[in-house]
Structure 1
Amino acid sequence: MFLDLLRRRNPAFVEAAMALHRAGQIPANAYVLDLDTVEDNARLFKAEADRHGLKVFAMTKQVGRNSGFSRAVLRGGIDRAVAVDMACAIACHKAGLKTGHLGHLVQVPRFEAAMAARDLQPDYWTVFSDDKAAEAAAAAKAAGRTQNLMARIHTAGDTFYKGHEGGFPAEDIAAVADRLDALDGARFAGLTSFPALLYDNATRSVKPTHNLTTLARAADALRKAGRAEVEINAPGTTSSAVLHHLANAGATQCEPGNGLHGTTPLHALEDLPERPAVLYLTEVSHLHQGRAYCFGGGLYIDPVFPDYGLKALVSAEPTVADAALRPVEIPPPSAIDYYGMIDCAGHPAPRSGDTVVFGFRGQAFVTRAYIVGVRGIASGAPRVETIENIFGQAEPWPNLS
């Protein structure tokens, strides 16, 4: 799905990535980023968010917390990140993005709270319990700060992914706010939940979830209790095209991730303002019994769509032509993706070393792939800016020194 989108809306990126690989400048098993397009996407997203009065925190996990990505987002006018975990926060901080939001989806470990409060100084820190709130407050006090705390809330009918559960009962929010305000070193600032928006495959559209209604009702209860200013953080499936849903529900914060590189589900179905800016590149290793085996390592496809026939461009030359498309089978998520298997039937057989390009919605941070940032595609002079691991740390490839 996203390969068709890439070929149609950003073919120069595909061909530039292939050419750089052919020149030995991009390794196999790499998520490649078009940093010029990321910058453009960030700029238009920020403008639309400003129009709706929404604070913007960029999510970087899907593209492996790449420093080039963070700097492109910063050039586009977004100066803060949301960190899914401490590894994200540290990578974004080192790349120049301030920590706008920490602790959601993953809580801050107890013995890392001091570093978070002292060095990262997040604008907002989400807590799921009184214990985690006390840890955050104590760390902030020791750092000489008063920390804004967001309460993660839930109620019957809300949607949470398995393993994401946690938070305060929404019905108790007034008392929760009072307890957080009573902590030395902290103050109650607002509410959050995830997902607030979700792609619905039946209608092929993005819809508000019950969680967003829960946030709005809890904010109303707080206003009735005398709290005039309540931040509402509402992440999930965020592109510029859906920000009106958040604004209409009273949200004050949004957190684009896939939206900044054009890979939300809606991007695969409609031509949204953001263009696609990420692809997965690898190469053919060997041929065996009618299949060409390409190196894996980053073949994790975020399952937002039902299973569909996967294809890749396979070529010894940069191209987006139909003739280079090949059906591909990849191992199931339960297996290690050492290789993808390219069907050679009916086509001239690929050769060892041929470039292979996929387009899919990834989650690079859960893989063992390289993350490569490329600039200059828009000017016709593409160059590799960064080759990093999934923690935003520079890789010495292709030299060990």
Structure 2
Amino acid sequence: MFLDLLRRRNPAFLRAAAQLHHTGELPANTYALDLDTVSANATAIKREADRLGLTPFAMTKQIGRNPDLSRAVRAAGITEAVGVDLQCALAARAGGLATGHIGHLVQIPRHEAATAAALNPRYWTVFNDAKAGEAAAASAALGRDQALLARIVAPGDTFYRGHEGGFDAADVVAVADRLDDLAGAHFAGITSFPALLFDKETGKVRPTPNLGTLQDAAARLRAAGRDHVELNAPGTTSVATLQILADAGATQVEPGHGLTGTTPWHAVEDLVEEPAVLYVSEVSHLHGNHAYVFGGGLYVDPVLGLGRTRALIVRGGDLDGARLVEVEMPAPEAIDYYAMADVSDAAGVEPGDTVIFGFRPQAFVTRALTAGVTGVRSGTPAVTGVYAADGSVPIGLDGHAVESVAS
């Protein structure tokens, strides 16, 4: 789906990726990131957020916490990140983004609270009193007073399976009072996820019951005398959704796929953000009517459903002669060593040919690489660096790691 979008809205990026893989600068199994387009997307999001009085925190997990992307986002004005887990926050900090929000979706493990507190997060989400106490104690030990967000839940709220948990929204006033009583922390606001979801039937993004729960809880807190309540409302965030969130009283938003133009809404409608990520691989070998394509990062985010997958096979770096082929992806329960491209109508495909996919990624759950590319818009593309999915430099790609291992 996003391959068609790339071909129509960012063909120069496809051309650059084909050339850079052909010359060996982009390895197989790499999520390539058009940093110029990411910067433009981040600038647009920040501008609209500023207009509406919203604070944006960048989510970087889906593009493998790439530090060059973090630097591009920071230069565009979004200076803080949300860490989906502690490792995500650490990687974003290494890339130059301060920790704006931590603890949501993934709570901080008990013995790692001190590490989280040392990041000096602006906000820290807790799901229960035990986690609130751990955050407060770790912050107090550093002489800090931590702003806490309470994750709340009410009957009828929508959660992805495995994401459930939080304080009873009906008790939010008492929860706020208890968090204020902690030494080293105070109550700052509330959060839930997802606040917005894409509706396949209408092709639009709609509020979830969770957003209504946040609004009702905020109203009760204000009635109890709390003049300012932070309302963190993540989910399917892009320029097109910010007005919806602002009208609902949100104060914090967390663009992730909006930075790369790959929210579900982008798949069906041309929004402000342009597509800025693709997956580069190559043909390993041929068997029957199929070209076996290197995997490692073939995790397609299932939010849009597991439909058909197509890819471009490019010979000699020449995108003009690319073949569009159907691809059988590995089963979700299988290790993605290879995908199988049907080349029965694509004569001449050979091992080493470039293969380019366009799908909605979650690079941090894969063993893929990521690489920023600059100069796509000027016609002078260059790779800024190649990183592992945790944002580190992988062994063998920094010019020194192999030697140190051998020694």
Partner of 2:351: helix, strand, or coil? coil
Letter paired with 2:342: D
For structure 1, the residue ranges without an aligned partner over 5 or more in a row are none
Partner of 2:344: helix, strand, or coil? coil
Partner of 1:31: helix, strand, or coil? strand
Letter paired with 2:151: R
1:48 has 2:63 as partner: no
Q: Contact 1:235–1:254 (CA<8 Å) still a contact in 2?
A: yes
Instruction: Quote the residue 2:31 is aligned against.
Output: 31
Give me the whole-angstrom Cα distance separating, in 1, the residues matched to 2:190 and 2:320.
Answer: 48
Instruction: Quote the residue 2:250 is aligned against.
Output: 251
1:352 has 2:348 as partner: no
Partner of 1:348: helix, strand, or coil? coil
Give me the whole-angstrom Cα distance separating, in 2, the residues matched to 1:66 and 1:371.
Answer: 7
Letter paired with 2:53: G
Distance 1:100 1:13, change over 3 A: same
Matches within 5 A, 1:40-79: 40-79=40-79
Give me the whole-angstrom Cα distance separating, in 2, the residues matched to 1:320 and 1:370.
Answer: 22
Give me the whole-angstrom Cα distance separating, in 2, the residues matched to 1:323 and 1:376.
Answer: 22
For structure 2, the residue ranges without an aligned partner over 5 or more in a row are none
Instruction: Quote the residue 1:98 is aligned against.
Output: 98
Give me the whole-angstrom Cα distance separating, in 1, the residues matched to 2:210 and 2:320.
Answer: 43
Give me the whole-angstrom Cα distance separating, in 1, the residues matched to 2:307 and 2:157.
Answer: 29
Distance 1:325 1:8, change over 3 A: same
Matches within 5 A, 1:221-240: 221-240=220-239
How big is each residue's C-alpha offset from its partner over 1:65-110, in whole Å with a ceiling of 9 and x where there is no partner? 0001100101111000000001111011111100000000000111
CA RMSD of aligned residues (A): 1.1
Q: CA deviation at 1:321?
A: 5.1
Matches within 5 A, 1:313-332: 313-320=312-319, 324-332=323-331
Partner of 1:381: helix, strand, or coil? coil
Matches within 5 A, 1:206-225: 206-225=205-224
Give me the whole-angstrom Cα distance separating, in 1, the residues matched to 2:9 and 2:317.
Answer: 16
Q: Contact 2:315–2:321 (CA<8 Å) still a contact in 1?
A: no
Distance 1:213 1:34, change over 3 A: same
1:164 has 2:163 as partner: yes
Distance 1:356 1:7, change over 3 A: same
Instruction: Quote the residue 1:173 is aligned against.
Output: 172
How big is each residue's C-alpha offset from its partner over 1:218-243, in whole Å with a ceiling of 9 and x where there is no partner? 00000001101000000001111011
Give me the whole-angstrom Cα distance separating, in 1, the residues matched to 2:110 and 2:320.
Answer: 53
Partner of 2:304: helix, strand, or coil? coil
How big is each residue's C-alpha offset from its partner over 1:303-324, in whole Å with a ceiling of 9 and x where there is no partner? 1223322110001134555851
Letter paired with 1:310: T
Larger mean CA deviation between 316-325 and 298-307 belongs to 316-325
How big is each residue's C-alpha offset from its partner over 1:350-397, in whole Å with a ceiling of 9 and x where there is no partner? 110000000000100000000111112122211111211111101244
Give me the whole-angstrom Cα distance separating, in 2, the residues matched to 1:313 and 1:147.
Answer: 49
Letter paired with 2:106: V
Larger mean CA deviation between 370-379 and 234-243 belongs to 370-379
TM norm structure 1? 0.98
Q: CA deviation at 1:18?
A: 1.1
The size of the alignment, in residue pairs, is 400
Instruction: Quote the residue 2:360 is aligned against.
Output: 361
**% of aligned pairs identical?**
60
Distance 1:339 1:135, change over 3 A: same
Give me the whole-angstrom Cα distance separating, in 2, the residues matched to 1:261 and 1:180.
Answer: 37
Q: CA deviation at 1:333?
A: 0.9
